[in-house]
Amino acid sequence: YKTNIEDLEPLGELGSGTCGHVVKMLHKPTQCVMAVKQMRWSGDLEENKRITMDLDVVLKSHDCNYIVNCYGVFINDADVWICMELMATCFDKLLKRLSSPIPEDILGKVALATVKALHYLKERHDVIHRDIKPSNILLDSHGNVKLCDFGVSGRLVNSKAKSGNPGCAAYMSPERIQPPNGSPDYDIRADVWSLGITLVELATGQFPYTDCNSDFAVLSRVLQDDPPSLPIDSNFTPEFHYFINSCLTKDYHQRPKYKRLLQYPFLTRYETKYVDVASWYAEATALSAR
Ligand code: ADP
Ligand code: MG
Confidence of residue 184 (pLDDT cuts 50, 70, 90): low
Give the helix ranges, DSSP H, for 23-98.
Answer: 45-60, 91-98
Which residue has the least CA distance to atom 2 on ligand 1? 135
Quick check: is 131 catalytic?
A: yes
With a cut of 50, say whether residue 268 has pLDDT above it: yes
> What does the pLDDT read at residue 210?
86
Q: Give dist(CA 180, CA 240) in Å, integer.
A: 29
* Pick from 53-62, 130-139, 276-285: least confident: 53-62
Residue with the larger pLDDT of the pair 79 and 275: 275
Average pLDDT over the chain reads 88
pLDDT of the residue at 2: 72
Average pLDDT over residues 229-239: 94
Q: What's the mean pLDDT in 237-265?
A: 97
pLDDT recorded at residue 166? 37
Q: What residues contact 57, with CB distance under 8 A and at least 6 apart?
A: 121, 125, 127, 150, 151
Q: What is the pLDDT of residue 65?
A: 96
Q: Report the distance separating Cα 34 and Cα 148, nearest Å.
A: 14
Testing ligand 1's pocket by substitution, the residue of 11, 22, 93, 146 carrying the most ligand atoms inside 8 A of its CB is 22
Q: How confident is the model at residue 29 (pLDDT cuts 50, 70, 90)?
A: very high
d(Cα 65, Cα 84) in Å, to the nearest integer? 14
Q: Which ligand is nearest to the CA of 86?
A: 1
Q: pLDDT at residue 186 above 80?
A: no
Asked if the model's pLDDT at residue 263 lies above 90, the reply is yes
Q: How confident is the model at residue 246 (pLDDT cuts 50, 70, 90)?
A: very high
Q: What is the rounded (10 degree) CA torsion for 138, 177, 204, 263? A: 70
Lining ligand 1 with CB less than 6 A are 14-18, 20-22, 35, 68, 84-87, 90, 92-93, 135-136, 138, 148-149, 167
Span 61-75, mean pLDDT?
Answer: 91
In a mutational test of the pocket of ligand 1, which residue from 90, 132, 137, 158 has the highest number of ligand atoms less than 8 Å from its CB? 90
CA angle 162, 168, 171 (to 5 degrees): 160
- The ipTM is 0.99
% of the chain beyond a pLDDT of 70 = 91
